Structure 1
Amino acid sequence: MSTAATTVTARTAVAPLTSADAEGLVSAAAAAAEAAGIAISVTVLDAGGHLLAFRRDDRAVLISGETSTRKAYTALQLDAPTADLVDAVQPGGPFHTLPTALDRPLLFIAGGLPLHRDGRLVGAIGVGGGAPGQDHDIAATAVAMPA
């Protein structure tokens, strides 16, 4: 009987995204949107895809709540900014059939960003309500704000 040796690499624990972190991101995104004159919805998910924070501006179109959540979920699941994935779902792209192949709320429109701490994925933020480039910029501004 042989025993296979298993090497386990110890990973340093990374603090999870907290509700306070999420509220800070939502506030930063709301401030950036207000400064730009854009009514948005913003969603923050933890690493498991669970909702940590959500806010929809009273003036934001109703669907922006759904799009912000789907953008965050897509960024989390693929660990990539949704802006970087837009071409991947075009005909001939590597993810062309992904939006219809899964029963998941994926959305390949700019505005979703994965959130990392010490190089580890801890959650995602999604912004909806403006043009895709505006949503991406607002999300990026929120992420760049000091905690």
Structure 2
Amino acid sequence: MTDLPLAKANRIITGALAQAKEMGLKPLGVVVLDAGGHVKAFQRQDGASMLRFEMGAGKAYGALSVGSGSRWLHDQAATRPHFLTGMVGISNGKILPVPGGVLIKDKKGTILGAVGISGDTADNDETVAVAGIEAAGLIAQKD
């Protein structure tokens, strides 16, 4: 497993929040997990409502769990609701199948972790997650 340096995790957060400011989004929580699903970094903007950490972490954890962005999990709801119910159950409720969880990869395609963002619309959360990853010089996989 390749390590995700703290400096890169913090750069992801900085880049995501800069994009959110440019877009005029609501206050966000941004969680960066390493490839093992452990919290590497987190920031919650002033004014962000409660549960932003838990929701962002759930989006990122879901992405890591299936090796794809959390949008993929969300899209499965229409045709495979039992799959999603099972995933949430076996993860002890750690997975939130909503867009906004994006895989972080290096240039070789190795998964380094995932970022999960919560606070605005799911589409906007996902957009700023991608922007943050790219600002850190890494590759984003949202689906």
| Structure with greater proportional helix content | 2
Runs (4 or more) in structure 1 with deviation over 3 Å come to 90-94
Instruction: Provide the secondary structure at the position in 2 that maps to 1:97.
Output: helix
Q: 1:98 to 1:29 in 2, by over 3 A?
A: same
- Is the Cα contact below 8 Å between 1:99 and 1:107 reproduced in 2? no
Q: For the aligned residues, what is the CA RMSD?
A: 1.8
Q: Which residue of 2 aligns with 1:142?
A: 132
Instruction: Provide the secondary structure at the position in 2 that maps to 1:85.
Output: helix
Max Rg structure: 1
- Is the Cα contact below 8 Å between 2:30 and 2:43 reproduced in 1? yes
Which structure ranks higher in relative contact order (CA pairs < 8 Å, sequence separation ≥ 6)?
2
Deviations 1:5-47 (A, max 9, x none): xxxxxxxxx7411101100001111111111222100000111
Structure 2 stretches lacking a partner, 5+ long:
138-143
Aligned residues: 134
Structure 1 stretches lacking a partner, 5+ long:
1-13
Q: 1:96 to 1:76 in 2, by over 3 A?
A: closer
TM-score when normalising by structure 2: 0.85
Give aligned-pair identity as a percent. 30
- Is the Cα contact below 8 Å between 2:88 and 2:94 reproduced in 1? no
Q: Which residue of 2 aligns with 1:16?
A: 3
Q: 1:41 to 1:78 in 2, by over 3 A?
A: same
Report how far residue 56 of structure 1 moved: 0.3
Q: Which residue of 2 aligns with 1:33?
A: 20
Q: For 1:143, give the aligned amino acid.
A: I
Instruction: Provide the secondary structure at the position in 1 that maps to 2:102.
Output: strand
